[in-house]
Amino acid sequence: MQRVIGVEISHKNTPIEIREQLALNKTQISEAIKELKKHYQEVFILSTCNRLSLYAYGDNYQKLQQYIESFGDYGQYLNVFPDSKIAVQNLFSTAAGLESQAIGEHQIVGQIRDSFDLSRNERTIGPVLDELIREAIHLGKRVRLETDIGKHSASLATVGFELIKKHDLKLEDSTILLVGTGNMANLVNTILDRSPVKSLYVASHNLERAKEMAIEWGGKAEHVSALHHLIGKVDIVIGGTQGEVNLLSEKNLEDSKCTRAQFGRNAEKTKLLIDFGLPRNFNPGLKEVKNLFLYDLDDIKRMTYEGLLKRYDEIPEVKKIVEEEVEKYIQWLYQRKTSPVIEAYWNKMLLAKEDELKWLLPKLGKISPEQKKLIERFAHRLIRKLSKNPLEEVQKFAQNLHHQDNPINTVKKVFDLDDVELFVPKRRIIIGTRGSKLALTQTHQVIEQLRQIEPNNEYLTKVIRTHGDEGNIQVTGAFTSAIQVALFEGEIDIAIHSYKDLPTEPSQHTRIAAVSPREDIRDVIISRNGEKLNELKEGAVVGTGSLRREIQLKALRPDLHVKFIQGNVDGRIKQMKSGKFDAIVLAAAGLNRLGMIETADEILSSKQMLPAVSQGALALEIRNSDTENLSLLEEFNDEDTDLATSAERTFLKELGGGCNSPIAAYAQIENESIKIRGLYASANGEIAQIDGIEGHKKIANQLAAQLARTLSQKVLDQSRASREL
């Protein structure tokens, strides 16, 4: 089924050194959209210093993803928009300034317009994306007219000015070198509007353009090849060109004899470098040079946070406008799907009108041109009036194309339009999930598998915020209960959970209809210096949010200092890299689904680290009364994983289920047999027991319950013995 789809890498979760490798110039964008047009009806690419976004109108996003991956193994940074509503929501939020580094900045609207013009020139835009991008541009203007999202200063121009003030540089006594003439105009205008400068140099690959701007600002123009002559004369250097400038880019500054590399080290007074370029114009190693202060886009992102707080009050109102415009576009998209029927019906009406006029006009004898025109106008008004209600009703049917007995088919028969081909989805299925990158990624993967089973359905994703997303992880079902409520109330048709997050007590109104094939159940070590577990220094700090993992880590390395860590995968890795932890422990399953398994420095075996109950499996939940989706999901269900995770959850339930005691279990099925290993520990983790059991898989749950009772008794006996001592 054709839909609007997209993929994106953005500043939100991608470091600048990755983004600069994906910063496409106009020539690269032109080549990319022409190549992608071979696979999609329509293609659009938006490339800015903060994002690379690819949108298309087609039946899947795989070719877009493959294009990003052609640059390198960047799957861990990729955000996927697999259906129309999610893709449209992202583009509209981008146009509104909600996805920008500087919330509410207005430059993004111009960037979207420029990319739109480029795609139109290359003829990769059709009616669907044409309407989408025009509406995005309209939305960008609307939110800035109707809200104050762009009125509180947070632009790059203002940030640059504030940096100059921060370092006590007086503009009237400073010489500025500007590298690049494109997006730097706003910055320079802001600076010059606020204060005169001692002198200004403008350097560009395009000397004529540099001269034009130098004349406008009262400065001097130079070609970028002459930068090394200027560098010692200036106090402030502002870089903002996408072209290669090789400015201070020597890899080894200490050994370099180049004047350009030495100037900062030998400077007696402060020099300020502001790098707005992507790729970066200046060597990041210059941050270590005395008296030289270098700021790149990521530094600026951190600095602008406080200034952006003023704009946050406007975000709820902007989101309302975005939601309104998203719904309008989605409605238009559905109506467009019925346009072949509407067009065919209207053409029949026009033909009927012409036929009747051909019959009528000769019988009227001699009439004036004005009378003829009046009769023709009357005939046209008549067919418009007669067709008005039928056409409006057909447009309403467009919102329910997924209905099994869709009225649109009746319309086709009534008006003799059976030859009009129109894709009518068998059903529309709304799938609920959390909004984390991992949750969305695994949901999209499930949806693609469901499309393989039943391609005639329309699958939509609905993001639901849970208690766990709000930081409240202590409540039962922290990551699942809100999704289950949405399922029961009919907001969604299928809920997708990480099975390990589901409480063991079943819901009265819903049921687990399928379990996905199991991913890798193991845990992994990711360390700051690429070390394995046994290579970590003595007393190393290891982060985990699980007492289960802590107990087993201490069994392997008693010297380790285990600290609590919370957050998504990217967030935990970032905390480690910042120096808070020497290593962290994560599940291999999540890393695999995110395409990040290569970040693991060691994969621990299940003998070293027993996994959480149901780790690596996804549970698909439906309402008890939903027989249609039950039938669909029966084909998706992996029987071995279903049986194994059921045994593990029986083990968990027998030991108290939602209690705070650390519990782990792993069941393996081999032919007709099942082997179960389990871990049970006291609430404080000081007493822990591991044991196993095996038998025929037909009695898997009985075996799991027996193992649970055995371990519970062992922990109890050990606890008593400890007290007696």
- For the annotated catalytic residues, the residue numbers are 501
**Which positions ≥6 away from 385 have C-beta within 8 Å?**
none
Q: Give the integer Cα–Cα distance in Å for 463 and 439.
A: 9
Which strands make up the sheet holding 428-433, listed edge to edge?
Answer: 458-463, 428-433, 494-498, 618-623, 510-515
Pick from 204, 238, 237, 236: which is nearest to 222 by CA? 204
Q: What is the bridge-based pairing of β-strands 494-498 and 618-623? A: antiparallel
Pick from 394, 321, 325, 318: which is nearest to 131 by CA? 325
Q: Give the integer Cα–Cα distance in Å for 547 and 687.
A: 12
Tokens of 21: 């490798």
Task: Identify whether the C-beta of residue 213 lies closer than 8 Å to the C-beta of residue 176.
Answer: no
Q: Give the integer Cα–Cα distance in Å for 235 and 174.
A: 6
Pick from 538, 526, 533, 532: which is nearest to 581 by CA? 526
Tokens of 504: 């063991």
Q: Give the integer Cα–Cα distance in Å for 191 and 186.
A: 9
DSSP string, 656-669: TSSSSS-EEEEEEE
CA distances to 17, 80, 157 from 20, in Å: 6, 20, 21
| Torsion angle of C-alpha atoms 474, 475, 479, 482, degrees rounded to 10 | -150
Q: Give the integer Cα–Cα distance in Å for 523 and 604.
A: 6
Task: Identify whether the C-beta of residue 129 lies closer than 8 Å to the C-beta of residue 91.
Answer: no
CA distances to 115, 136, 333, 452 from 130, in Å: 12, 10, 12, 30
- Phi, then psi, of 151 in degrees rounded to 5: -90, -25
Query: Peptide bond before 455: cis, by omega within 30 degrees of 0?
Result: no
Task: Identify whether the C-beta of residue 229 lies closer than 8 Å to the C-beta of residue 177.
Answer: no
Q: Give the integer Cα–Cα distance in Å for 465 and 483.
A: 8
Q: Give the integer Cα–Cα distance in Å for 543 and 584.
A: 4
DSSP string, 9-78: EETTTS-HHHHGGG---HHHHHHHHHHHTTT-SEEEEEEETTEEEEEEEES-SHHHHHHHHTTSS-GGG-
Q: Which residues pair with 42 in a beta bridge?
A: 57
Query: Peptide bond before 279: cis, by omega within 30 degrees of 0?
Result: yes
Helix (H) or strand (E) holding 391: helix 369-397
Based on DSSP, count helices (H) and strands (E) in the chain, helices before strands: 25, 23
Tokens of 160: 């640059």
Q: Which residues pair with 543 in a beta bridge?
A: 563, 584
* Residue written as token pair 């395009």: 206
Task: Identify whether the C-beta of residue 56 lies closer than 8 Å to the C-beta of residue 99.
Answer: no
Q: Is 282 helix (H, G, I), strand (E, B) or coil?
A: strand
Pick from 169, 167, 187: which is nearest to 178 by CA? 187
